[in-house]
Amino acid sequence: MIETNNLPKHVAIIMDGNGRWAKAKGKNRVFGHRSGTQAVKKIVEKSAEMGIDYLTLYAFSTENWDRPKTEVSSLMDLLIKALRRELDKMLSNNIQLRSIGDISQLPAEVEKELKDTIEKTSKNSGMVLTLALNYGARQELTQAIQEISRKVKNNIISPENVDETIINEHLYTRNLPGVDLLIRTSGEQRISNFLLWQIAYAELYFSTVLWPDFNEEHFRTAIDSYKKRERRFGKTSEQLTN
Ligand code: FPP
């Protein structure tokens, strides 16, 4: 059922705990990531069904390259398979896929599959699903500052005109609204270089559930918690009610 009252427009998720989930079951980390992919499917479908406009998932960070080679290649493999497997579902659910991060550094096959899926879903007008891949907020801000500096140097922008709008336009998220709700699973309470600029006014929600176990009900609880919060954007409670 689509509900409109006070629903967050943009939900971002740090999907954490795949490794610990697998370890607790005496399995290897890749087993955890594979189960994590099933959780991705459930939460994407639930979000679209609820009427969330933008869902952004932290799938692979700029720091994740430091993991064992076999784990990195398994994650890439899982991603390709998920994109192939879920294309029809994305089309029938009117989901538009996008990515943020430097995807040119991903293995060629992943980059191609991703670009193909983005293209094939580009006409969809429902939920925008953004995968953060080879994404790091500091890297994003660094490249934005470099690009703006070049424009200032070439007299395309004057320094006084560099404002929040110009900065937004140079981020990977230029076509996305700010994040309303940021969820992190697995009990860790940190941001880990995710969307630092975009979460300025986001509500934060930390769940102790490990990502592969995070289901529609847990997601519902996070959304309900968001709905009860009063977002003041620096104003007083009285100013908001008057
Ligand atoms: C964090 O768990 C999870 C990741 C680094 C990768 C997330 C990837 C998936 C859920 C699967 C593929 C994604 C898509 C979009 C199909 P962790 O390994 O850091 O867990 P730990 O902290 O318990 O070790």
What span, in angstroms and rounded, lies between the C-alpha atoms of 226 and 8? 7
Helices (H), 154-195: 164-169
161 in catalytic set: no
Total Cβ atoms within 10 A of residue 48: 20
Cβ of residue 8 lying under 6 Å from some atom of ligand 1: no
CATH number of the domain where residue 109 is located: 3.40.1180.10
Residue 35 lies in a domain: yes
Question: Which domain, by its residues, includes 39?
Answer: 10-135+178-228
Residue 155 lies in a domain: no
Q: Which atom of ligand 1 is nearest to the CA of 20?
A: 23
Helices (H), 25-126: 29-50, 69-92, 108-120
Q: Whose CA is nearest to atom 3 of ligand 1?
A: 16
Average pLDDT over residues 103-118: 98
Per the confidence metrics, is the pTM higher than 0.75?
A: yes
Average pLDDT over residues 188-204: 98
Which residue among 13, 18, 73 has the greatest number of ligand 1 atoms within 8 angstroms of its CB, and so is best to mutate? 18
Cβ of residue 83 lying under 6 Å from some atom of ligand 1: no
Q: 186 with 17: CB under 8 angstroms?
A: yes
Q: 172 with 147: CB under 8 angstroms?
A: no
Q: Whose CA is nearest to atom 5 of ligand 1?
A: 60
64 in catalytic set: yes
Average pLDDT over residues 157-175: 98
Tell me the residue length of the chain. 242
What span, in angstroms and rounded, lies between the C-alpha atoms of 71 and 79? 12
Ligand 1: distance of its center to the CA of 91 in Å? 25
Residue 172 lies in a domain: no
Q: Could you give the percent of the chain with pLDDT greater than 90?
A: 92
Residue 1 lies in a domain: no
Q: Which residues of 173-200 are buried (b: 16+ CB within 10 A; e: fewer)?
A: beebebbbbbbbbbeeeebebbbebbbe
Query: Sorting pLDDT into bands at 50, 70 and 90, what band is 236?
Result: confident
pLDDT tens digit sequence for 114-144: 999 999 999 999 999 999 999 999 999 999 9
Residue 118 lies in a domain: yes
Residue 202 lies in a domain: yes
Cβ of residue 16 lying under 6 Å from some atom of ligand 1: yes
Q: Which of these, 217, 205, 198, lies nearest to 181 by C-alpha position?
A: 205
Total Cβ atoms within 10 A of residue 18: 24
Q: 103 with 112: CB under 8 angstroms?
A: no
Ligand 1: distance of its center to the CA of 173 in Å? 21
What span, in angstroms and rounded, lies between the C-alpha atoms of 30 and 24? 13
**Options 6, 18, 53, 64, the catalytic residue:** 64
Average pLDDT over residues 175-184: 98
For residue 91, the SS3 value is: helix
According to the model, what pLDDT value does residue 4 have? 61
Q: Which atom of ligand 1 is nearest to the CA of 75?
A: 12
- Is residue 3 scored above 80 in pLDDT? no
Cβ of residue 113 lying under 6 Å from some atom of ligand 1: no
Residue 98 lies in a domain: yes
What span, in angstroms and rounded, lies between the C-alpha atoms of 222 and 207? 8
Q: 203 with 231: CB under 8 angstroms?
A: yes
Q: Which of these, 156, 147, 113, 157, lies nearest to 133 by C-alpha position?
A: 113
Residue 164 lies in a domain: no
- Is residue 78 scored above 70 in pLDDT? yes
> What domain count does the chain have?
1
Helices (H), 95-230: 108-120, 137-153, 164-169, 216-228
pLDDT tens digit sequence for 5-48: 799 999 999 999 999 999 999 999 999 999 999 999 999 999 99
- Of 241 and 94, more confident: 94
Q: Could you give the percent of the chain with pLDDT greater than 70?
A: 98
Contacts of 209 (CB under 8 A, 6+ apart): 17, 185, 186, 218
Ligand 1: distance of its center to the CA of 102 in Å? 18
